[in-house]
């Protein structure tokens, strides 16, 4: 039988680790998870999954208590959804997944199904951050730098305003909106991606700041600090908040570094590290442990539907340089339709009725005093979706073996031999990554040879 090779002809079968799933009971529990990415690599996918599960369960309990204190049925429903997402049946880890672009093998982890788009859910945050990094990396690659443009990482800080979370975020958003219209920004920045972040300090003080990764010419740091200070002071005046700058030079702290492939000193930062900072999605879940329980449900509402990362100039997917429309964009032509006076038809076109989300269903049932019924419904819905997702993962990664934290293991053996015709897309992707015409899927017990001729 031919060995499994990657796109460069390397024998991947030699790098496949023997399957050792699962020994969950013997694994150590993580109490304090390191914040440094380099230190995190020392921990296995199982240990990281267990840590995320603990964070999710702890956050769901605190959010439910906060929502109950504030008589917030929607917050209670979202807390139940986070708890179900963090259940042992929903969290998986894997061995020998393959990256179809590079041919490299990796240990994966994640949740089978996310029930709610909440920034208090660690699994939703992790998935959103990965998607944002991929999109912003593409946005930066689309820029055509001008002469003297370099990639720079800019951090704009703001003093502690001695106010609540919602007001702090409003000031931050408004101040950066004002800065993007200033000459020092529009005249120097060709394209940029940016993200808002907030850290919680002692006594529930919020320290908000903006990270910007931009293709730009050289920017005078003192002038940028003066413009940023003026923007923050104007934003505070508009919203009615006192702003006190406690630095010796009377300006807010602004940091500018060159972003390189690899950091070469104190004045530079690696591009990937800068993207990590931009796409953190405002606040780390561990920071919310410092927030009083009574405020959590209100903070969760503030974060709903807010765009925490964005693009500017040539990085903007919908706009060209300096916010102007692209030349190749054509205006949408509205068809001439008749109007019928029926509840489900508008302008002659049938409109699909919006399906209720799990959060909306839960809110309604909790208001009716049926929370126990909602939790049973939630478990049933999740079980149906998990079955589909398990099959999808097994067919997409035939060389991998998966296991949930509850101990349920599965692999492509459970699906591939029975439903091979439905796996055409997976086989083609595998072939594009440099595989030979005959592909051998290595699993825990044997090798299955699949002929691609005629697929």
- pTM for this prediction: 0.73
What is the distance between the alpha carbons of residues 236 and 238, in angstroms, rounded to a whole number?
A: 5
Only one residue has tokens 């020994």, namely 23
Q: Which of 273, 305, 337 is nearest to 133 (CA)?
A: 273
Token pair for 405: 């934290």
Question: Does a cis peptide bond (omega within 30 degrees of 0) precede residue 364?
Answer: no
Query: How does pLDDT run along the chain (455 residues), one tens digit per residue?
Result: 344 343 334 333 434 444 444 444 334 444 444 444 445 555 778 888 888 898 899 999 999 999 999 999 999 999 999 999 999 999 998 888 887 777 788 888 889 988 888 888 888 888 888 888 889 999 999 898 888 899 999 999 998 888 888 899 999 999 999 999 999 999 999 999 999 988 876 666 778 899 999 999 999 999 999 999 999 999 999 999 888 888 888 889 999 999 998 888 778 899 988 998 898 765 565 667 777 888 888 888 888 878 888 999 998 876 544 443 333 334 334 344 333 344 444 454 555 567 888 899 999 999 999 999 999 999 999 998 998 999 888 888 888 889 999 888 888 777 665 544 444 455 555 455 554 433 444 333 333 333 333 33
CA torsion through residues 235, 240, 245, 246, sign: negative
Residues in Cβ contact with 67 at an 8 Å cutoff, skipping those fewer than 6 apart: 73, 74, 75, 76, 78, 79, 296, 297
Task: Tell me how crowded residue 8 is: count the other CB atoms within 10 A of its CB.
Answer: 8
- Report in angstroms the alpha-carbon separations of 58 from 63, 83, 183, 260: 9, 9, 46, 38
Q: β-strands 254-260, 268-270: how paired?
A: parallel
pLDDT attached to residue 258: 92
The answer to whether the CB of 252 falls within 8 A of the CB of 156 is: yes
pLDDT at 26: 34
- Separation of alpha carbons 333 and 349, rounded Å: 15
Please name the residue that has the structure tokens 């489900």: 344
The residue among 361, 343, 363 whose CA lies nearest residue 353 is 343
What contacts 364, CB < 8 A, 6 or more positions away?
Answer: 356
| Rounded (10°) angle between helices 371-396 and 73-85 | 40
Residues of 284-311 as b/e, b for ≥16 C-beta within 10 angstroms? bbebbeebeeebbbbbbbbbeeeebbbb
Question: How far is the C-alpha of 158 from the C-alpha of 228, rounded, in Å?
Answer: 9
DSSP string, 192-231: EEEEEEEEE-GGG-EEEEEEEEEEE----HHHHHHHHHHH
Pairing of strands 254-260, 345-346: unpaired
Q: Are 189 and 312 in contact (CB under 8 A)?
A: yes
Which runs of consecutive H residues, i.e. helices, occur in 270-370?
271-278, 293-303, 358-367
The total number of residues shown for the chain amounts to 455
Whether the Cβ atoms of residue 88 and residue 393 lie closer than 8 Å to each other: no
Q: Show the DSSP H helices in 98-148 as ranges.
A: 122-141
Closest to 394 measured CA to CA, from 381, 408, 374: 408
Tell me the C-alpha distance between 262 and 201, whole Å: 31
Contact 273, 152 (CB under 8 A): no
């Amino acid at each position: 039988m031919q060995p499994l090779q990657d796109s460069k002809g390397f024998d991947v079968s030699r790098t496949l680790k023997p399957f050792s799933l699962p020994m969950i009971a013997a694994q150590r529990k993580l109490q304090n998870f390191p914040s440094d990415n380099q230190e995190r690599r020392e921990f296995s996918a199982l240990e990281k999954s267990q840590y995320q599960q603990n964070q999710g369960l702890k956050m769901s309990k605190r959010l439910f208590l906060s929502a109950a204190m504030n008589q917030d049925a929607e917050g209670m429903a979202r807390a139940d959804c986070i708890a179900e997402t963090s259940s042992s049946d929903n969290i998986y880890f894997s061995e020998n997944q393959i990256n179809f672009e590079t041919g490299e093998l990796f240990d994966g982890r994640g949740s089978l199904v996310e029930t709610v788009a909440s920034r208090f859910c660690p699994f939703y945050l992790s998935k959103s951050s990965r998607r944002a990094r991929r999109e912003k990396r593409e946005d930066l690659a689309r820029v055509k730098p001008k002469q003297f443009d370099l990639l720079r990482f800019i951090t704009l800080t703001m003093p502690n305003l001695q106010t609540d979370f919602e007001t702090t975020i409003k000031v931050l958003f408004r101040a950066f909106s004002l800065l993007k219209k200033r000459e020092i920004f529009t005249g120097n920045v060709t394209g940029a991606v940016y993200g808002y972040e907030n850290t919680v300090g002692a006594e529930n003080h919020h320290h908000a700041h903006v990270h910007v990764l931009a293709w730009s010419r050289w920017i005078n740091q003192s002038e940028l600090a003066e413009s940023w200070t003026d923007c923050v002071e104007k934003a505070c005046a508009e919203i009615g908040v006192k702003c006190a700058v406690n630095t010796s030079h009377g300006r807010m702290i602004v940091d500018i570094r060159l972003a390189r492939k690899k950091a070469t000193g104190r004045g530079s930062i690696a591009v990937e590290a800068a993207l990590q900072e931009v796409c953190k999605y405002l606040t780390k879940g561990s920071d919310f442990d410092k927030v009083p329980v009574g405020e959590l449900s209100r903070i969760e509402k503030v974060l709903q539907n807010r765009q925490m990362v964005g693009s500017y100039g040539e990085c903007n997917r919908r706009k060209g340089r300096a916010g102007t429309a692209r030349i190749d964009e054509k205006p949408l032509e509205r068809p001439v339709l008749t109007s019928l006076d029926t509840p489900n038809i508008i302008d002659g076109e049938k409109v699909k009725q919006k399906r209720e989300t799990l959060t909306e269903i839960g809110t309604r049932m909790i208001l009716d005093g049926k929370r126990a019924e909602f939790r049973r419904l939630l478990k049933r819905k999740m079980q149906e979706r998990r079955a589909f997702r398990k099959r999808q993962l097994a067919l997409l990664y035939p060389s991998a073996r998966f296991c949930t934290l509850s101990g349920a293991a599965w692999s492509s053996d459970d699906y591939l031999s029975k439903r091979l015709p439905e796996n055409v897309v997976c086989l083609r992707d595998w072939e594009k990554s440099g595989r030979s015409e005959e592909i051998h899927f290595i699993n825990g017990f044997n090798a299955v040879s699949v002929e691609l001729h005629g697929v």
